[in-house]
Structure 1
Amino acid sequence: MTSKKRIAILGSTGSIGTNTLDVIRAHPERFEVVALTAAKQVERLAEQCVEFKPRVAVVSDAGSAKKLCELLLAKQVSTQVLYGPDALITAVLESDCDTVMAAIVGAAGLLPTLAAAKAGKRILLANKEALVMSGNLFMDAVRQGGGELLPIDSEHNAIFQCLPVHYSKSPSQHHGVEELWLTASGGPFRNTPIAELSQVTPEQACAHPNWVMGRKISVDSATMMNKGLEVIEAYWLFGLPIEKIQVLIHPQSVVHSMVRYCDGSVIAQMGQPDMRTPIAYGLAWPDRITAGVQSLSLTQQAALNFMEPDLQRFPCLSLAFQAGKQGGTAPVILNAANEIAVAAFLDNALQYLQIPEVVERVLNTTPPSTPSSLEDILEVDAKSRVLATDVIQRLHS
């Protein structure tokens, strides 16, 4: 038996993080947790530290760090406690990890994930923003660092499983791949009359019919911005033009994505809507291990339905395709404006249908540029957030 893989989990108290720990818990002979990070959920992080005893734990601020230290001292756990954005990079570079689960939602996960890429770690990417915001820079860092990048989003993980073993991003070596088909459940409002969407509450938007996710990503799933970000992510991961990446509504969430080949074949990856499957695949790749997921019974499926998305119902998806085709900093602008708009919606400061309105205004008033550095990207991100905040304020004036 080879030595244990040493895992750092960025965002260990979120749904991806807790599912990752669930898979690790079932395979103590294969994995060791060496770093855990969280923002504010100190009690849950303390429980994880007591169980897994990582070398390093990171929280967002000094107050949370003090509280975590007290909780761990009471349990006689010697985990080193750090705080702040720089500490996330420390958790990647100084914990002796070889594998990083990048599961921090939003732009906050960009810097530590980029540090992991430069350091040649195996990156299990559950953070879309690393590729949406800095696709070119990030992929260059992965190549130069010599590490591995494995997608954990169920759709990209499914495509990864459906591609040829020797697939190359070079157009001459696509091995007959013609199109990538990303499936989407359609969220909680796929059948809601459009006229009623203006009354949608945060609680309704967060009630996903198939997946258990955090609040921000649940809203993105409802608006299908999540799927739009996945289209941009797929472009960077798999090297096909945006025009060859399609989205299909698939309410059952059984077919997680598909690859269409030039000979007429379509290869699909199927399974229960449970994130532990792609997580286990990423943790153990190229091996397969049990994930604690119930087997899929096709005989119990009444039907599997597929349909094209209605862009009138899901304008955020259309905006994401627009940004993906524009390239440069357009996806940065899109992502930043969306994060601000969704946060305002979750705080009851913005209506549901105003989310795409804010994103569109910011996207259409900020000409995209070609970033040459991470600093350029972060500057565009910051300016776009300020502009989105101004747009929201004007909507209320």
Structure 2
Amino acid sequence: MTAIPQERRVVTAIPGPKSLELQNRRTATVAAGVGSVMPVFAARASGGVVEDVDGNSFIDFGSGIAVTSVGSSAEAVVRRATAQLADFTHTCFMVTPYEGYVEVCEQLAELTPGDHPKKSALFNSGAEAVENAVKIARSYTKRQAVVVFDHGYHGRTNLTMALTSKNMPYKNGFGPFAPEIYRVPVAYGYRWPTGPQNAGAEASAQAIDEISKQVGAENVAAIVIEPLLGEGGFIEPAKGFLPAIAKFAKDNGIVFVADEIQSGFCRTGQWFACEDEGVVPDLITTAKGIAGGLPLAAVTGRAEIMDAPHSGGLGGTYGGNPVACAAALGAIETMRELDLVSKARRIEEIMKPRLKEMAEKFHVIGDVRGRGAMLALELVKDRDTKEPNPEATAALAKACHMEGLLVLTTGTYSNVLRFLPPLVIGEDLLTEGLDILEQALAGL
């Protein structure tokens, strides 16, 4: 590995000439439906920086959407994946199994919440994991209905588009979608009509009432929720909401699925976000941060539920690829050795007070929220009406990009700036990134 200086460096216009040349090649051959946040092309990345082909170095507040939590090219990930590449790249676990797959499942059984017997199945992407969790729940319960929540995001396959709330850009023009999907309210504290203090109790009561009356609890195979909603705007459900929904599921024989694809693996200052209120899911879906950047996903859960599908009912040619499994073992090794749970909490200690100070200075900020290294600003046109301000959000992100800070937007209303720095980022880079953000806010 070539060490990259952990510093911001802007040496050309953004984008630079080499990125512009690559953009022309991209336009000619890459489908227009594949978008990009940044106007530059990456050349190298490590720790808390991404370097482009023109030599510009960006402070990374995105981690490839919460994927490179251990940093890009983390030593243990590279070491283990390289060794596996030299041995074999593929046999298909369903044809000739291998130890790495089993080791990853053993680690997942140990790390995920709950002390009950657990099993896992490995896949390629978060959407695959969610889709398979639904398959497993339906097989186990012999029911069909699936309940999801306002502002939820679960993927881009046909079933997971049906589970996802936001139309643009995820669903528009791609229907018809899978049936037997029912959406109910979530405890979005900032926008709850009677205030955040009431959101947990009122939203859970409303959701349970709608499920009971409109679907029938006895028809529901699974309730699927992100313990900290990602693409919906980094919404942390108000306290009490998740435990109430989990209890309702347990009382009615419904499989409770925690979608931890964005929030899992130390990101929120705990191994998994559902631990915050002691919620133990029946099934948990993981991807993104699991393998240091290689494609891998998992469904982990109660052994009796995971064993419900018939032999051959779960799988996929590339699911649990041996190189990806080796990378996952390297990523988990890094998380343990560097105590990235504590690192995420330290990132919150540095970032959240600064973000709250900015909210006091700049009235375009309506809310500061999130946990660990999964933090966000919601931007509004007016604090009283809370009208979303997607225009300011896009302008703020662009201003940060031009100054060498990689940030991402999100939210049902496209008015949330989210922060997902690598958990190994230096504190000096965090502080410098926050300085750039504040300067950009001042320039709106």
TM-score range, shorter chain: 0.3 to 0.5
Greater relative contact order: 1 or 2 (C-alpha under 8 angstroms, separation 6 or more)? 2
Give the number of the structure whose residues are more often helix, by fraction: 1
